[in-house]
A and B are shown apart, each in its own frame.
Chain A
Amino acid sequence: MGVKLLLENDHIEGIRYYETYRKNGGYRAAEKALKMTPDEIVEEVKKSGLRGRGGAGFPTGMKWSFLAKPEGVPRHLVCNADESEPGTFKDRYLMEFHPHILIEGLLISSFALGSNATYIYIRGEYAWIPDILEQAIQEAKNNGWLGKNIQGTGFDCEIYVQRGGGAYICGEETALIESLEGKRGNPRMKPPFPAIQGLWMRPTVVNNVETLAAVVPIINIGGEEYAKIGVGRSTGTKLLSVCGNVKKPGVYEIDMTISVEEFIYSEEYCGGMANGKKLKACIPGGSSVPIVPANLLLKTAKGETRMMNYESLSDGGFATGTMMGSGGFIVLDEDQCVVRHTMTLARFYTHESCGQCSPCREGTGWMYKVLKNIEYGKGKMSDIDLLWDIQRRIEGNTICPLGDAAAWPVAAAIRHFRDEFEWHIKNPEESQRRNFGLAHYADPIHVPAGA
Chain B
Amino acid sequence: MSEATPKFKVTIDNITVEVAPGTTILNAARSIGGDVTPPAMCYYSKLPASGGKCRTCLVEVSKGSEKDPRPMPKLVPSCRTTVMDGMEVKNITSDKVLDARKGIVEFLLLNHPLDCPVCDQAGECDLQNLSYEHGTEQTRYDFPRRTFEKEDLGPNIQLHMTRCILCYRCVFTAEQLTQKREHGVLERGDHAEISTLLGKSLDNEFIGNIIDVCPVGALTDKTFRFKNRVWFTKPVDAHCSCTKCSGKARLWMRGDEVYRVTARKNEWNEVEEWICNECRFERKNAKDWVIEGPSKIKRSSVISQGHYVGTKPTPVVIDKVIGKEPKFLMNIHDVSDVNKPEIELSRIPGPAHSDDFKGNK
Across the two chains, which residue of chain A brings its CB closest to B106?
Answer: A393
Complex alpha-carbon distance, A369 and B145, angstroms:
12
The answer to whether A397 touches B188, judged by C-beta atoms less than 8 angstroms apart, is no
CB distance from B215 to the nearest CB of A (A): 12
Q: A189-B52, A396-B75 are in contact. Are A358 and B189 (CB under 8 A)?
A: no
Q: Which residues of B contact A438 (CB under 8 A)?
A: none
The answer to whether A167 touches B188, judged by C-beta atoms less than 8 angstroms apart, is yes
A162 within 8 A of B: no
Contact of A189 among B80, B107, B140, B165 (CB under 8 A): B80
B53 within 8 A of A: yes
Contact of B189 among A184, A355, A389, A396 (CB under 8 A): A355
Q: Which residues of B contact A386 (CB under 8 A)?
A: 140
The answer to whether A366 touches B141, judged by C-beta atoms less than 8 angstroms apart, is yes
B97-140 contacts to A, CB under 8 A, are 99-100, 103-104, 106-108, 110-111, 140
Q: A359-B107, A362-B108, A386-B140 are in contact. Are A351 and B189 (CB under 8 A)?
A: yes
The answer to whether A358 touches B74, judged by C-beta atoms less than 8 angstroms apart, is no
A350 within 8 A of B: yes
The answer to whether A399 touches B53, judged by C-beta atoms less than 8 angstroms apart, is yes
Complex alpha-carbon distance, A169 and B166, angstroms:
18
Q: Which residues of B contact A369 (CB under 8 A)?
A: 143
B68-85 contacts to A, CB under 8 A, are 74-75, 77, 80
The answer to whether B104 touches A397, judged by C-beta atoms less than 8 angstroms apart, is yes
A363 within 8 A of B: yes
CB distance from A263 to the nearest CB of B (A): 32
B317 within 8 A of A: no
Across the two chains, which residue of chain A brings its CB closest to B146?
Answer: A365
Q: Which residues of A contact B184 (CB under 8 A)?
A: 184
Q: A189-B80, A366-B141 are in contact. Are A397 and B190 (CB under 8 A)?
A: no
Q: Which residues of A contact B99 (CB under 8 A)?
A: 393
Q: A396-B75, A398-B55 are in contact. Are A363 and B189 (CB under 8 A)?
A: no
Q: Which residues of A contact B110 (CB under 8 A)?
A: 362, 366
CB distance from A75 to the nearest CB of B (A): 24
CB distance from A384 to the nearest CB of B (A): 13
Contact of B55 among A354, A358, A365 (CB under 8 A): A358
Contact of B166 among A361, A389, A397, A398 (CB under 8 A): A361
A345 within 8 A of B: no
The answer to whether B189 touches A350, judged by C-beta atoms less than 8 angstroms apart, is yes
Q: Which residues of B contact A366 (CB under 8 A)?
A: 107, 110, 141, 143
Q: Which residues of A contact B168 (CB under 8 A)?
A: 356
A359-406 contacts to B, CB under 8 A, are 359, 361-366, 369, 386, 389, 393, 396-399
Complex alpha-carbon distance, A169 and B185, angstroms:
16
B54 within 8 A of A: yes
A353 within 8 A of B: yes
Q: Which residues of B contact A189 (CB under 8 A)?
A: 51-52, 77, 80
CB distance from A418 to the nearest CB of B (A): 19
A150 within 8 A of B: no
The answer to whether A353 touches B58, judged by C-beta atoms less than 8 angstroms apart, is no
B161-219 contacts to A, CB under 8 A, are 165-166, 168, 184-185, 187-192
Which of A359, A362, A363, A397 lies at the interface centre, i.e. has the most chain B CB atoms within 10 A of its CB? A362
Q: A355-B192, A397-B75, A399-B52 are in contact. Are A363 and B107 (CB under 8 A)?
A: yes
A352 within 8 A of B: yes
Q: Which residues of A contact B75 (CB under 8 A)?
A: 396-397
Q: A359-B107, A386-B140, A393-B103 are in contact. Are A184 and B185 (CB under 8 A)?
A: yes
Contact of A361 among B52, B74, B190 (CB under 8 A): B190
The answer to whether B189 touches A359, judged by C-beta atoms less than 8 angstroms apart, is no
Contact of B103 among A352, A354, A359 (CB under 8 A): A359
Q: Which residues of B contact A357 (CB under 8 A)?
A: 52-55
- Count, A-B residue pairs, CB within 8 A: 87
CB distance from A187 to the nearest CB of B (A): 10
Complex alpha-carbon distance, A363 and B110, angstroms:
9
The answer to whether A352 touches B189, judged by C-beta atoms less than 8 angstroms apart, is yes
The answer to whether B185 touches A397, judged by C-beta atoms less than 8 angstroms apart, is no
CB distance from B168 to the nearest CB of A (A): 8
Contact of B54 among A350, A351, A358, A396 (CB under 8 A): A358
Contact of A353 among B100, B108, B190 (CB under 8 A): B190
CB distance from B52 to the nearest CB of A (A): 4
Across the two chains, which residue of chain B brings its CB closest to A383?
Answer: B140
CB distance from A311 to the nearest CB of B (A): 20
Across the two chains, which residue of chain A brings its CB closest to B141?
Answer: A366
The answer to whether B74 touches A396, judged by C-beta atoms less than 8 angstroms apart, is yes
Q: Mark B24-64, 1 if CB is under 8 A from A, else 0.
A: 00000000000000000000000000011111101000000
Contact of A355 among B100, B103, B188 (CB under 8 A): B188
Across the two chains, which residue of chain B brings its CB closest to A373?
Answer: B143
CB distance from A190 to the nearest CB of B (A): 9
Q: Which residues of B contact A393 (CB under 8 A)?
A: 99-100, 103-104, 106-107
CB distance from A244 to the nearest CB of B (A): 27
The answer to whether A169 touches B188, judged by C-beta atoms less than 8 angstroms apart, is yes
Complex alpha-carbon distance, A358 and B190, angstroms:
9
Q: A356-B166, A396-B75, A397-B104 are in contact. Are A362 and B140 (CB under 8 A)?
A: no
The answer to whether B53 touches A358, judged by C-beta atoms less than 8 angstroms apart, is yes
Complex alpha-carbon distance, A386 and B110, angstroms:
14
Complex alpha-carbon distance, A407 and B100, angstroms:
15
The answer to whether A362 touches B190, judged by C-beta atoms less than 8 angstroms apart, is yes
Q: Which residues of A contact B103 (CB under 8 A)?
A: 359, 389, 393, 397
Q: Which residues of A contact B140 (CB under 8 A)?
A: 386
CB distance from A90 to the nearest CB of B (A): 26
Complex alpha-carbon distance, A6 and B100, angstroms:
45
Q: Which residues of A contact B55 (CB under 8 A)?
A: 357-359, 397-398
Complex alpha-carbon distance, A397 and B58, angstroms:
8
Q: Which residues of B contact A184 (CB under 8 A)?
A: 184-185
Complex alpha-carbon distance, A357 and B51, angstroms:
10
Q: Which residues of B contact A351 (CB under 8 A)?
A: 189
Complex alpha-carbon distance, A301 and B113, angstroms:
47
Across the two chains, which residue of chain A brings its CB closest to B166?
Answer: A355
CB distance from A393 to the nearest CB of B (A): 3
CB distance from A312 to the nearest CB of B (A): 23
CB distance from A160 to the nearest CB of B (A): 23
Across the two chains, which residue of chain A brings its CB closest to B144?
Answer: A369
The answer to whether A359 touches B104, judged by C-beta atoms less than 8 angstroms apart, is yes
Q: Which residues of B contact A364 (CB under 8 A)?
A: 189-190
Complex alpha-carbon distance, A21 and B106, angstroms:
57
The answer to whether A365 touches B190, judged by C-beta atoms less than 8 angstroms apart, is yes
CB distance from B169 to the nearest CB of A (A): 13
Across the two chains, which residue of chain A brings its CB closest to B112?
Answer: A362
Known: A358-B107, A361-B107, A399-B52. 18 other contacts (CB 8 A): A184-B185, A189-B80, A353-B190, A354-B189, A355-B192, A356-B53, A357-B54, A357-B55, A358-B54, A358-B55, A362-B108, A362-B110, A365-B189, A389-B103, A393-B104, A397-B55, A397-B58, A397-B103
In the A-B complex, the 3 residue pairs with the smallest Cβ-Cβ separation, listed nearest first, are A393-B103, A355-B192, A362-B107
Selected A-B contacts with CB under 8 Å, 23 pairs: A167-B188, A352-B188, A353-B189, A354-B188, A355-B185, A355-B187, A355-B189, A356-B166, A357-B53, A358-B56, A358-B107, A359-B107, A362-B107, A362-B190, A365-B189, A365-B190, A366-B110, A389-B103, A393-B100, A397-B58, A397-B75, A397-B104, A399-B53
